[in-house]
Structure 1
Amino acid sequence: MILLQANQVARHFGGDILFENINLEIQDRSRIALVGRNGAGKSTLLKIIAGIDSTDDGTISKIKNLTLGYLDQHSGLMSARTVWDEMLTAFETIRKMENRLHHLENELGTASQDNQEDYQRLLKEYDQLQHDFNDQNGYGYEAEIKSVLNGFNFGPEFYGREIASLSGGQKTRLALAKLLLERPQLLILDEPTNHLDIQTLDWLENYLQNYRGALLIVSHDRYFLDKVVNEVYDLTRQKITHYKGNYSRFLTLKEEQLAADWKAFEKQQTEINKLEDFVARNIVRASTTKRAQSRRKQLEKMERMDKPQGDEKSARFLFNIAKESGNVVLQTEHAAIGYDQTILCEPVDLDIRKREAIALVGPNGIGKSTLLKSLIGDLPFIKGNVHLGSNVSIGYYDQEQAKLRSNKTVLQELWDEHPTTVEKDIRSVLGSFLFSGEDVEKTVPQLSGGEKARLALAKLSMDQENFLILDEPTNHLDIDSKEVLENALIDYEGTLLFVSHDRYFINRIATKVVELSATGSTLYLGDYDYYLEKKAEQEATTTETIEQELATDTSGKASFQQSKEAQRQERSLKRAIEKVETQLAEVEERQTTIEKEMTNPKYISDPGALMDLQKELTELETKQEALMEEWEEASLALENNQ
């Protein structure tokens, strides 16, 4: 079923066209990525589709009573409530049903059996309401809240905290959590992976893969898009093109399409040249003039192809070094990092050598950015200190771009720090970072997030330091600019230490991974895939070791066997619950199909067939009630077993 359609949609800014002739279709189970360069109009198009902004041309048509959820990339949840109370508001309808059920239970308990008409009326309402309550997960909504909050790293200690006391990143995560709990038919997400650590990204990917509604997503995270979407709309050069498949498949198809367009264009150009040559040589000769005139008419009628343009201009990042560092670049030993004597992570042991590229990973709040700021001297170590090697010069990229707070123009921002460099060379550097023409006269506050990121990288490239410390350098960059940055850093002759939650970026750049945790730093001698592999091995080894210790502990043999039996029962109960849930889903799907079928006008003249459908629907409701009882018994048994 089609939920929403965009038809010939356009957005203009004065005499300029941002995009036009946009056609887009969203089905009830669509998994769509909207991709394109920064500035192409992706966020603007999402707001038009969500009904927040109006379109200059064209229409947005949608089904009646469509429930739609929209997450702005800069939004955070604003509320005076606690975290738990705010999440409960996503289930207002269910909670009202719950209160009504309790009220009816009390009425039924006190109702007089003499007044059968009132009693049956109450009983009928109670039965229907209980069915609807079951159908909408009324008995499991609190467990669902806990599951989603846990997925976004909000444990029980956050439930009673007021949302106003949380950080901006936490408020953004809560906004997304609440949207997921509301379960709209169409979920529109603009950069949902911002402010998420890698563990949370993995959880979100798995959650969205099983989401029952439709998804329309803008994201610059290639791993995320590959796992979640199966359609791509590419917004490029004011037009939109639709591709089937995930992001990697889209890249392949787009390249194949461009090659095919060039082949068709060149073939037509060859044909045009032949026809024009024939006309030029034969139009004045009496014996061939008719054929020449025929070729001329053929040329006039020909629909000429536009020259394929391919992608728009890309940035050209380049990082050189002014001088070589020594082999030892940086070392810390048993260091502790944190704020106001509150330790976030210890011990931190680093030994960074020339030309290494080291990725720092770990959960949000563990101190990755804090460590970088301590290494450059902006924050003191709580314990320990840092030793820099000989001839080491540090270039630092701040994810918050704190050094871009002036009202200078883009040109002045670079030129003031390098006053001996001629203006032509400054403009050339800025041009390679996609600042050309009037762009260099923009002031810093006028820049978008992506433009500020490119300006900060341009300043970094001018400094020519031999040790780059980068805090989330891919934030705000579109996918094309990320790839350019990756290639520049791969070619960089200096040393890299960086924090990133972009798994594709880490995999391409890192030669080593350092994981920060509450117990300190751990070194992994490989890229991100190697890190994941070793983590999985460690978890398997830990589990095996625990089981071996339990098995060899003679005094605890009985306890071990009891534990194994409990685990066996738990697995059996979980399988039983999953089986019942699968059957319930099949019943619900069949019920939906029948209810839809019963609305078909053809049954007006065929009451017998309509009665057959009603009979099957009644049987399904009976089966559903039996399955719900089975599910409740198994769930209670599982809870007691745990």
Structure 2
Amino acid sequence: MEVTIFTETLVPAPTTPRKEINMILLQAQGVGRSFDGIDLFTNVNLQIQDNSRVGLVGPNGIGKTTLLEIIAGIATPDYGAVTTRKNLSIGYLAQNSGLDSSKEIYAEMLDGFKELRAMEQQMHALEAKIADPATAKDDATYAATLKQYDQLSNDFREQNGYGYEAEIRNVLAGFNFAPERYHDQISTLSGGERSRLALAKMLLSRHDLIILDEPTNHLDIDTLGWLEGYLRGYKGAILIVSHDQYFLDHTINEVYELSPRGATHYTGNYSQYRQQRAANLDQAWKAYNKQQEEIAKLQEFVDKNIVRASSTKQAQSRRKQLEKMDRLKRPSGEQSAHFHFTAAKSSGNEVLKVRNATIGYAPDEPMAGPIDFTVNKGERIGIVGPNGVGKSTLLKSILGRIPFLQGDAVLGANVQPGYYDQDQASLNPKNTVLEEVWQEHPTTPEKDIRSALAAFLLGAGDVEKTVASLSGGQKARLLMTKLAMDHDNFLILDEPTNHLDINSKEVLEQALEDFNGTVLFVSHDRYFINSLADRLVVLSPAGSEIVLGNWDYYQEKQQEATNPEQANNTGVFGTTTTQKQTTNSQGAADYAAAKADQKAQRKLQRRVDAAEKTIEDLEAQKQAILDEMALPENATAAVKLQDMQKDVDAIDAKLTDAEAEWEAAGIALEDSEQ
């Protein structure tokens, strides 16, 4: 097995084309790894077939990178084994690794095709030999040379010998390296550029299996879209770890979820995995609860009948049944944040109006303008556009931190804006986590601040740490804690998903969806944009355009605009024929209606869940009082029993209301799904 590791150096892979189809390339059987005697994960079984598209997911710290290194042959497992097909070529791209080379960009890419270039040189030599009159005089030599040339040229053609330089140019263009940069020294490039080149060389090496650990770092949205298309057409197997759900949705068709006890296999992309996982978890809870009910009934029978002569044998039989029962483990998932945002007071209907605005830092160098849009109460609006166009600058100008070069932004009545800064500049690195929050909320009891921090996964072991010692993800969750405690009604968020793992991002999406205020956000996270945005403000140097939909709808409209059969205008959302305008408006209206229906269903489902939880809590309270009333010492305490009975009656009244709410919400939910 040959492995190419893109950490410090690159080892060229063989260019022999793969001939096997739908064969198993690699298997991990019972693989486990431990550190300091503690198991990180155990009993991992995983299989990768020819042309597989596999995503590896799991919570931070579970060992995804460690497992990738084991699969790539860089690290050895403490348990189990990894077996591969003979002569399997593996390329491994480590997280945040960059290409380390003293060569020029194009020369480095050519190095991956040494065998093809050697064949090309040999072909030229044979061509010269065939053209040599001396060879032509010797029929046997001429025939042998011609045969050798025919075989070599056929091999050269099959291995894309006539197209490899075009492929290099295509890949370099995909990673934003224009021809005028081909002679740039790699050693002079930025870390992000060298990371992109490492990925480019990996793709050009044509391995049987490529393993990518967070390959979307340092890539903008356009490059991500290009990479997704390239990977879909890649003639090899792919194993990916990524926090970018949209990227996973568009590149993989199966998922392994890593946990301490193994890896669970799912078919489909990331969104389908989430649906299957939720269904499996729901089924597991149903099976567990059903068994718990059965256990409770059996135990109750044993407790009541074990001392009765007439039924002791039956009770003993039930007890043996309990002892032999294969008890299901309580279903559990990884720990995740569970925060929410609430507005202390309601704003007016018009939250923000940006009028004829131009943004930038110097009048003679504007970034974008004119910009015009309105934000209404309850909307979730995303701002998108190319890097450097001024998306973050626009947010800061709206907040008055950077003056507009032209135009203005007006906040509506009773609007209280809260700001999330992707640079995390508002955090004091010298403060402890507890001090950072307490200084802004000095009258809040310490236990309440600790509870708020715990909701964002900043527990007892974190609150005494200094802000400077926190990871990027911990700082992001600290900022979210402060934002949630301010209870503003207009959240202005600049790249809020940066530094967050997948679980935290999904909780954030739900929290913002449930928020009873208004949201304006900048994000490059396409999955997040799709999940949250009602409308998009598309920024360009020429100004702004409004899209009545999410990221996918925006991409669909872009494709239509660039297709001459469907659109004849130069702008993506400019004026076309009346028929086209009508079609677009109807499509946007349909999308908005569908999103509103989905939102309404989610709210109804939350009503049902909340009512069920209330009923469970009330029944537990009632049972606790009844158990206390049944105690022998309370049998003669008439006054105390009367008071406890009043408590029971009050709970019964609350139960009646909760059951009525549960029934009404359930009927409404059923009607909405029809």
Query: What's the TM-score once normalised by structure 2's chain length?
Result: 0.72
Deviation at residue 427 of structure 1 after TM alignment: 0.8
SS at match of 2:483: helix
Work out the CA distance in 2 between the residues paired with 1:35 and 1:230. 13
Match of 1:191 in 2: 214
Work out the CA distance in 2 between the residues paired with 1:76 and 1:377. 39
Of the three residues 424, 427, 432, the one matched with 1:409 is: 432
Work out the CA distance in 2 between the residues paired with 1:450 and 1:46. 22
Of the three residues 76, 94, 109, the one matched with 1:87 is: 109
Of the three residues 44, 49, 52, the one matched with 1:30 is: 52
Tell whether 2:78 aligns with 1:56: yes
CA deviation vs aligned residue, 1:19-62 (integer Å, no higher than 9, x gap)? 22222111112111112223333233223323344433332222
Structure 2: runs of 5+ lacking an equivalent: 1-22, 571-674
SS at match of 1:438: coil
Deviation at residue 328 of structure 1 after TM alignment: 5.4
- Once the two structures are superposed, the pairs formed by residues 514-593 of structure 1 within 5 Å of their partners are 514-540=537-563, 545=568
Tell whether 2:251 aligns with 1:228: yes
- Which amino acid in the other structure matches residue 157 of structure 2? N
Point out the more displaced range, 319-328 or 142-151: 319-328
| Structure 2 CA distance for partners of 1:430 and 1:537, relative to 1, 3 Å | same
Tell whether 2:115 aligns with 1:75: no
Does structure 1 retain, via aligned residues, the 8 Å contact 2:116–2:156?
Answer: yes
Match of 1:132 in 2: 155
Of the three residues 13, 17, 28, the one matched with 1:6 is: 28
Does structure 2 retain, via aligned residues, the 8 Å contact 1:337–1:370?
Answer: yes
CA deviation vs aligned residue, 1:504-553 (integer Å, no higher than 9, x gap)? 32233223211122433222244334434443454457975479xxxxxx
Deviation at residue 100 of structure 1 after TM alignment: 2.4
Match of 2:448 in 1: 425
Work out the CA distance in 2 between the residues paired with 1:277 and 1:495. 52
Does structure 1 retain, via aligned residues, the 8 Å contact 2:45–2:262?
Answer: no
Match of 2:483 in 1: 460
Match of 2:19 in 1: none
SS at match of 1:498: strand
| Structure 2 CA distance for partners of 1:145 and 1:489, relative to 1, 3 Å | same
Match of 1:622 in 2: none
SS at match of 2:48: strand
- Which amino acid in the other structure matches residue 420 of structure 2? Y
Match of 1:317 in 2: 340
SS at match of 1:424: helix
- Which amino acid in the other structure matches residue 66 of structure 1? L
- Which amino acid in the other structure matches residue 108 of structure 2? E
Match of 1:19 in 2: 41
Does structure 2 retain, via aligned residues, the 8 Å contact 1:196–1:501?
Answer: no
SS at match of 2:335: coil
Work out the CA distance in 2 between the residues paired with 1:504 and 1:349. 26
Tell whether 2:88 aligns with 1:66: yes
Does structure 2 retain, via aligned residues, the 8 Å contact 1:329–1:353?
Answer: yes
Work out the CA distance in 2 between the residues paired with 1:28 and 1:55. 23
Structure 1: runs of 5+ lacking an equivalent: 548-642
Match of 1:218 in 2: 241
Work out the CA distance in 2 between the residues paired with 1:3 and 1:264. 37
Work out the CA distance in 2 between the residues paired with 1:316 and 1:15. 34
| Structure 2 CA distance for partners of 1:506 and 1:404, relative to 1, 3 Å | same
SS at match of 1:439: coil
Tell whether 2:292 aligns with 1:263: no
Match of 2:170 in 1: 147
Match of 2:652 in 1: none
- Once the two structures are superposed, the pairs formed by residues 120-519 of structure 1 within 5 Å of their partners are 122-236=145-259, 238-276=261-299, 295-310=318-333, 312-320=335-343, 324=347, 327=350, 329-337=352-360, 342-376=365-399, 383-384=405-406, 386-389=408-411, 394-404=417-427, 406=429, 408-519=431-542
Deviation at residue 341 of structure 1 after TM alignment: 5.3
Point out the more displaced range, 480-489 or 412-421: 412-421
| Structure 2 CA distance for partners of 1:59 and 1:413, relative to 1, 3 Å | farther
Does structure 2 retain, via aligned residues, the 8 Å contact 1:5–1:62?
Answer: yes
CA deviation vs aligned residue, 1:263-310 (integer Å, no higher than 9, x gap)? 333443344445545555666677876666555444433322212224
Query: What's the TM-score once normalised by structure 1's chain length?
Result: 0.75
Deviation at residue 258 of structure 1 after TM alignment: 2.2
Cα-Cα RMSD? 3.5
- Which amino acid in the other structure matches residue 87 of structure 1? M
| Structure 2 CA distance for partners of 1:484 and 1:276, relative to 1, 3 Å | closer
SS at match of 2:508: helix
Work out the CA distance in 2 between the residues paired with 1:96 and 1:456. 57
Work out the CA distance in 1 between the residues paired with 2:232 and 2:528. 23
CA deviation vs aligned residue, 1:477-503 (integer Å, no higher than 9, x gap)? 233322221222233344433222223
| Structure 2 CA distance for partners of 1:271 and 1:319, relative to 1, 3 Å | closer
CA deviation vs aligned residue, 1:290-335 (integer Å, no higher than 9, x gap)? 6665554444333222122245344313253578479453525251
Work out the CA distance in 2 between the residues paired with 1:392 and 1:220. 34
Match of 1:41 in 2: 63
How many positions carry a matched residue from both structures?
A: 546
Deviation at residue 140 of structure 1 after TM alignment: 0.6
SS at match of 1:531: helix
Work out the CA distance in 2 between the residues paired with 1:61 and 1:193. 28
Tell whether 2:129 aligns with 1:107: yes
Work out the CA distance in 1 between the residues paired with 2:448 and 2:54. 42
Point out the more displaced range, 300-309 or 411-420: 411-420
SS at match of 1:305: coil
CA deviation vs aligned residue, 1:552-595 (integer Å, no higher than 9, x gap)? xxxxxxxxxxxxxxxxxxxxxxxxxxxxxxxxxxxxxxxxxxxx
Deviation at residue 132 of structure 1 after TM alignment: 1.9
Work out the CA distance in 2 between the residues paired with 1:102 and 1:344. 53
Work out the CA distance in 2 between the residues paired with 1:175 and 1:71. 8
Does structure 1 retain, via aligned residues, the 8 Å contact 2:358–2:367?
Answer: no
Work out the CA distance in 1 between the residues paired with 2:529 and 2:245. 12
Work out the CA distance in 2 between the residues paired with 1:493 and 1:289. 59
Point out the more displaced range, 129-138 or 442-451: 442-451
Work out the CA distance in 2 between the residues paired with 1:394 and 1:263. 43
| Structure 2 CA distance for partners of 1:359 and 1:220, relative to 1, 3 Å | same
Point out the more displaced range, 358-367 or 158-167: 158-167
